[in-house]
Structure 1
Amino acid sequence: MDPVGVRREQLREFLRGRRARITPDQVGLPAAGRRRTPGLRREEVAVLAGVGVSWYTWLEQGRDITVSGEVLDAVAAALRLDATERGHLYVLAGLNPPCRAGDSGTEVTAETRNLLDAWGTRPAVLRDRYWTVLAYNDAARAVFDYDGPGHNCLITYFTNPRYLAMKQMWAHGAPAVVAAYRADSATCPGDPGFEAVVTELAKRSPEFAALWARHDVGAAAQAVNALHHPHAGELHFDTTTLTLADRPDQHVVLYNPRPDTGTADALDRLRLASPA
C-alpha cells in the first residue's frame, strides 16, 4: 500500500478507536436505543463537532476530502483528544500539526538540570522554542558570560562581542543561524513570542534584518560555533541540539570542543582559573 493509503487506513482506525472509548453520557447525550458497538455513533460525533454526518463519515473512512484545522479542532474536541492525539489527527489528515503553545513554560525538571551538569566542563544550555535560555551549566556560564536565564540565543549571536570578535566565522555562520530560526518560527505562524524576538533584533542588528529579509530556511543541524573568550581565547565547538521527547518545546544544546582547535585545553584552563 502507498504511504497515502497507509495514512488513511491509520486515520480510520484512530478515529474509530477514539470514538469507541467515549460513552454518550460522558458528553451529555442520551443513551437511548440499542447499540451494536461501544462508544459514540458517527452521527453523534458529527453533531458534537458541528459538521455534516456524511463529511465525518468520509473523514473516518479515510476518503480524499478537503479538511481544515478548524474542523479538525472541532472533531478533536468532540472526541476529547489531548494535545498529542490532536497533533496525531492533523498528521493523519495530511495537515501540519498545530503549534502547541505554552507546553512547558519555563519549568526545568531536575532530570534536565542533571543532564546539563553531567556535560561537565563543556557548555550545555536548555532553551525554549523561541531560543530563550531556561537553564545552563557552569561551563556555559563561563563561556557565554551568562548571569541568569532569559538570554536569547539568536539575539546573543548577533550582539555578543564574543561572537562578533570572530568576524569570519561569525559571517559564515550567521545565514544558517537565521535560516534555522525562520524554519522554527514557521511551525507557529503568528506566534507573538517569535515575532517579539525578530522585531527586537531587527532594530538592534542591520545584519540580522538583511538576512531575515531573504526568507531563507534551513534545518538546525549540527554546526560549528566559534567565539572569542577574553581569558580563554578562541573557542570552537561542534553543537548538537536535542529535543526533549516529553517537552517538545524545550531543547538541549550541547557544545563539544572541536578537535585540533585547542578548545578542550582552553576550557580546562578556564575552569582552573574560575573561583571555586
Structure 2
Amino acid sequence: MPAESPSSSSAPTPLAAFLRARRALVRPEDVGLTGSARRRLPGLRREEVAALAEISAAYYLRLERGRDRHPSPEVADALADVLRLDADARAHLRALALGRPRHPAPHAPETVPEPVRRLVLSRRDTPAYVQGRYHDVLVANPLATALSPSYRPGVNLLRAVFLDETPRPLYEDWESVIAALVASLRVRDAPGLAPLVAELREKSADFRRLWARHDVSPRTAGRTRLLHPDLGPLDLAYEKLTVLPDEGQVLVVYHAERGSRTAGLLASLGERLGRPPPSPLSSAPAATPSPPGRRA
C-alpha cells in the first residue's frame, strides 16, 4: 500500500474530519455491538462502520483519509444511520458529500438594512440585536445591551464567550450555550471564518473540545435562563430570524412569557432606558421666593 501523503493526515477534508469525529462519539452498544473486546480508542472502528453501512472497509478508509470525497447519496444516508446523526447533522453530511459550494467573498464592512435597524432600535420591551456572518454584533437596542455587555455593536460574540470570563456568570446553562454556539458555526460555511476558528482553537480549551465533536445545529429557537446581576434570574425564549441569507446576518430576539415576572422586569427596564436623562435645570432645586416687600 502506498504511503499516506502528508496532506491526507495533517489536513483532512471536511468530510473526512466529520466522519472521524462522529465515529468516535458512537458507542458499540448503541448499534448493537455487544461483548466487544476492550478498545484503545472510543467509538466504533472503521471496519465496523463499513460493515454496518454495507460498504467495503477499503472504501470507507478512503473516505476517512480524504482520498474519496464524494460518496453517493445512498452511501451518505447509510453512514448517517450508522453514526446516529440527527436531521441537521444528516443534512450537513449530505452537503459535505456533494461538495458544498463556498459562498462568494463577503463585502466589508457588513451593513444592516435600514428597516431592520429601525425595527431593532424601536423595540423597548424586547431585547434584540443583529449578528453578522462572523458573529459580530452589528446593531443592538439598549435593552439587549442591558441584558449583557456582550450585546453591543462591535463585539464579536465568539471571542466574548470563549476568551472573556465576563459573560459566563450570566448563564445558568453555560455548557449548553457554548455547545449550541459552536454547533451553529458548522451550519454555514462562511468564507473567512477559518482564521477566527484557528484563533479560538489556539486560545480556548472549551472551544477546541466542542469544535472537535463536529456537532451541527442551526438552533433557530430555544430557551435560556439568565442570572442578571441587577434583575436576578430571567427566564427567556429566543428566536433567530435570517435577515440576509447570502450575507449570513441573523436577527436575534428575546422575549418572556406574557404576565411573567421576567416580562414585568423587561417592561420596567425598557421604560427606564427609554426615558431621556433629566435636564440639569429641571433637576436643580427650585429657588425660594423672597418674602413680600423684600428684594431678592
Contact 1:104 1:247 in 2 (8 A): no
Contact 2:184 2:218 in 1 (8 A): yes
Q: Percent identity?
A: 28
Distance 1:236 1:200, change over 3 A: farther
- Residue 177 of structure 1, aligned match among 164, 177, 181: 181
Higher helix share: 1
Following superposition, the deviation at residue 273 of structure 1 comes to 4.6
Aligned twin of 1:141: 145
Q: Secondary structure at the match of 1:154?
A: helix
The whole-number CA distance in structure 1 between the counterparts of 2:118 and 2:250 is: 14
Aligned twin of 1:115: 119
Aligned twin of 1:232: 231
Q: Whose radius of gyration is greater, 1 or 2?
A: 2
Superimposed CA distance per residue, residues 103-155 of structure 1 (whole angstroms, 9 cap, x where no aligned partner)? 47322232111121243321111111111111111211211225852212233
Following superposition, the deviation at residue 246 of structure 1 comes to 7.2
Aligned twin of 2:268: 269
The whole-number CA distance in structure 1 between the counterparts of 2:164 and 2:148 is: 9
Contact 2:184 2:217 in 1 (8 A): yes
Distance 1:150 1:218, change over 3 A: same
1:100 aligned to 2:84? no
- Residue 130 of structure 1, aligned match among 106, 131, 134: 134
Q: Secondary structure at the match of 1:183?
A: coil
- Larger mean Cα displacement after TM superposition, 202-211 or 126-135: 202-211
> TM-score of the superposition, structure 1-length normalised?
0.55
1:211 aligned to 2:210? yes
Distance 1:148 1:168, change over 3 A: closer
Query: May I ask how many residue pairs the two structures share in their alignment?
Result: 180
Distance 1:151 1:121, change over 3 A: same
The whole-number CA distance in structure 2 between the counterparts of 1:256 and 1:159 is: 27
> TM-score of the superposition, structure 2-length normalised?
0.52
The whole-number CA distance in structure 1 between the counterparts of 2:230 and 2:158 is: 23
Superimposed CA distance per residue, residues 17-58 of structure 1 (whole angstroms, 9 cap, x where no aligned partner)? xxxxxxxxxxxxxxxxxxxxxxxxxxxxxxxxxxxxxxxxxx
Contact 1:125 1:253 in 2 (8 A): yes
Distance 1:160 1:222, change over 3 A: farther
Gap runs ≥5 in structure 1:
1-65, 67-90
Superimposed CA distance per residue, residues 51-97 of structure 1 (whole angstroms, 9 cap, x where no aligned partner)? xxxxxxxxxxxxxxx9xxxxxxxxxxxxxxxxxxxxxxxx9xx7634
Q: Secondary structure at the match of 1:270?
A: helix
